[in-house]
Amino acid sequence: MDTQKIIAHTTEFVKSKLTGDSSGHDWWHIYRVWNMSRKIQRIEGGDLFVIELAALLHDIADWKFNQTEKSGLSIVSGWLKSQEVTPEISQKVIYIIEHISFKGEGEQDKMNLLEGQIVQDADRLDAIGATGIARTFAFGGWKGNEMYNPAIKPVSKMTFDQYKKSNGTTINHFYEKLLLLKELMNTNTAKKIAENRHTFMELFLNRFFKEWEGVC
């Protein structure tokens, strides 16, 4: 297996699938998760090839964009097969992608592979901090949700079904997901980065509510 070549091909494949997406899952999201995964791997270890493949392919099978989670996963396994990735590596990548997604506060799945923990951390880090704020407003607009409505309160401990159907406000999404993520980081490296990004979101929210009332 020429791993370099497979990574280069996979990069092109993912770019062609996700370019132009406006829901926060564009190629640049993948690029940041890929980069951050490599950064975490340098400190935490794990098989770099598995990590890179999972980072690059993690959103191809997203439940939000496919008829079913299974049909998305078969695109990924078909791709890995076409690149002659060994079944052992392929299985790990599929396992990671199956377990990566946040499906509501009440639906936590345990990720058992270090490689998966790293990619999951990188994906979650991209949902918080300045980038996370930008993506969240982009996603809310894409979905047609209100930015903020003081009359609509956040829902805690949502099930996957509630989370999927949720049409709450974008500001509520901070309380339903984004502010919970720092506690869900798997690796120490990601925990440190998350603390910093979390503080930035708190500053942002604080300011947002003050401006809403014309305080500053």
Residues that bind ligand ADP (CB under 6 A): 24-25, 59, 62, 64, 101-102, 123, 127, 132, 135-136, 139-140, 145, 166, 170, 173, 177-178
Nearer to ligand ADP, 3 or 62 (CB): 62
Q: From the CB of 190, what's the least distance to ligand ADP, in Å? A: 13
Which residue has the closest beta carbon to ligand ADP? 139
Spatial separation of the C-alpha atoms in residues 126 and 129, rounded to whole Å? 8
> What's the angle, vertex CA 62, arms to CA 60 and CA 65, rounded to 5?
95
Provide the H-helix boundaries in 19-127: 27-44, 48-57, 69-82, 87-99, 114-125
Q: From the CB of 71, what's the least distance to Ni ion, in Å? A: 18
Select the binding partner of residue 170 from Ni ion, ligand ADP, none (C-beta < 5 to 8 A, by kind). ligand ADP
Quote the tokens at residue 135: 């993506």
In 3D space, the residue among 87, 202, 137, 182 whose CA is nearest the CA of residue 210 turns out to be: 202
Spatial separation of the C-alpha atoms in residues 184 and 189, rounded to whole Å? 13
Interface of this chain with Ni ion, residues 95 to 124, rule: CB under 5 A:
123
Nearer to ligand ADP, 46 or 132 (CB): 132
With CB under 5 A as the contact rule, the residue among 44, 59, 121, 176 that binds Ni ion is 59
Nearer to Ni ion, 152 or 184 (CB): 184
Spatial separation of the C-alpha atoms in residues 66 and 22, rounded to whole Å? 16
Q: From the CB of 121, what's the least distance to Ni ion, in Å? A: 12
Q: How far apart are the first and last CA of the chain?
A: 59
Is 127:190 a contact under the CB 8 Å cutoff? no
Nearer to ligand ADP, 22 or 196 (CB): 22
In 3D space, the residue among 175, 131, 138, 133 whose CA is nearest the CA of residue 153 turns out to be: 175
Select the binding partner of residue 197 from Ni ion, ligand ADP, none (C-beta < 5 to 8 A, by kind). none
Backbone angles phi, psi at 212, to 5 degrees: -55, -40
Nearer to Ni ion, 18 or 85 (CB): 18
Q: From the CB of 186, what's the least distance to Ni ion, in Å? A: 15
Q: From the CB of 174, what's the least distance to ligand ADP, in Å? A: 9
Interacting residue ranges for Ni ion, rule: CB under 5 A:
59, 123
